[in-house]
Amino acid sequence: MSHNLFESTTDFLGVFDDLSASDAAGWKRAAQFREYSAPVINQHWQAAEYPLDLVQRLGDLDVMTDGLAVEGHEQMSTLGAGLALMEVTRADASMGTVIAVQAGLAMRSIAMLGSPEQQAEYLPQMASCSLLGAFGLTEPAHGSDSIALETTAVRDGDEWVLNGEKKWIGNGASGGITIIYARMEDGNVGGFIVPQEAPGYSASVIEGKLSLRAIHQAHITLTDCRIPASNQLPGCRSFKDVSRVLTATRIGVSWMALGSAVACYEIARSYVLERVQFGRELAKAQIIQQRLANMVLDLSQMMLTCREVSLRETAGTLAPEQASAAKLHNTRAARRIAADARDMLGGVGILLENDIARHFADIEAMHTYEGTDTVQSLIMGKKITGFSAYK
């Protein structure tokens, strides 16, 4: 029996026809979120409101683990977690980004680099969404070259003192904790769990975004921010440790791009089957059929890419440049599909009520975060040629 939840023509090659029962169950739980969020998400997106009730719904559906092992929660495989993230993003990329930030980055930092005590204290709360988490790496002057971070951490007795700035930090001003990565006195990078109510931690929501409007990103300032020494992540001793977290999340962005692309394709297909122009349905026009076929080809390649990198991640054979290739390919393809879908709807394609314009705008953020198109290309280029075009 097929567990595929896509419309009949979406998964043209049947890439997800043979899912395990557990992977299918996770996908099905995530699909319930789409039904729950559909009536209200455009309203929140338009108003740039962060709907924390929808975030809580993600916790209630137990899809806020991103494949991590968390006591009291269902552990999904890498493939199952990808499908769940794709499905939530199919509903809305802002909410998909919540999973990417909360589970993919903040929780994964604690799961991979934290102590057993830190994991036991924070991960169950974050998986249930009773505690929000942020990932503080990017700085105002250091985006793609995040290895050059300037935020400092100085040990003072039983405390660490943090100074610096972080920017574009999802959940960074929404209450909870932020994982701050900072340069220690020995020159290495350390990770620190910082409560957002800690003295010296100040954050403001970045306004004026035209993408991912239903999640808040923050500009954080740390001024002699003191935290207990026990809040240091013991497994983070260099930037290589941070990179291991980032490699896993690039797979997630590939799945998110697939979710938005699927939504755009299915909306466009439904529209041309119903829309009558010049006395016949648009779907009968040769150019429309060719454009739909091109979308399906892109979707098929995106699905195959997502499945392959997820299986490699599970097997422990995924190389960083392969994660970069997946992110690069899928965000590019999602852009093509969204642009074509919006055009096929004509004037109504720019209306929020038809969803494509929202996905169209949100894909632009996906195309940039977790490593820009250029940076991912250069990571691949270094592997292909043996020469680094960046330092």
Model pLDDT for residues 2-41, shown as the tens digit of each residue: 789 999 999 999 999 999 999 999 999 999 999 999 999 9
pLDDT given at position 52: 97
Domain 238-383 has CATH 1.20.140.10: yes
* Beta-bridge partner residues of 218: 169, 205
pLDDT given at position 370: 81
Domain with CATH 1.10.540.10 in the chain: 19-126
Cα angle 136, 366, 34 (rounded to 5 degrees) comes to 100
pTM value?
Answer: 0.95
Domain with CATH 1.20.140.10 in the chain: 238-383
Please tell me the class of the 19-126 domain: mainly alpha
Q: Are 68 and 139 in contact (CB under 8 A)?
A: no
Q: Kind of pairing, strands 189-195 and 133-136?
A: unpaired
pLDDT given at position 1: 58
Q: Are 50 and 134 in contact (CB under 8 A)?
A: no
Domain with CATH 2.40.110.10 in the chain: 132-236
Q: What is the pLDDT along the chain (391 residues), one digit of tens a residue?
A: 578 999 999 999 999 999 999 999 999 999 999 999 999 999 999 999 999 999 999 999 999 999 999 999 999 999 999 999 999 999 999 999 999 999 999 999 999 999 999 999 999 999 999 999 999 999 998 766 667 789 999 999 999 999 999 999 999 999 999 999 999 999 999 999 999 999 999 999 999 999 999 999 999 999 999 999 999 999 999 989 998 898 878 899 999 999 999 999 999 999 999 999 999 999 999 999 999 999 999 999 999 999 999 999 999 999 999 999 999 999 999 999 999 999 999 999 999 999 999 999 999 999 998 888 999 999 999 999 999 997 6
Domain 132-236 has CATH 3.30.70.141: no
CA distances from 185 to 193, 200, 263, 271, 375 (A): 18, 20, 48, 59, 28
pLDDT given at position 144: 66
Number of Cβ within a 10 Å radius of residue 185:
10
Burial 234-258 (b: 16+ CB within 10 A, else e): ebbeebebbeebbbbbbbbbbbbbb
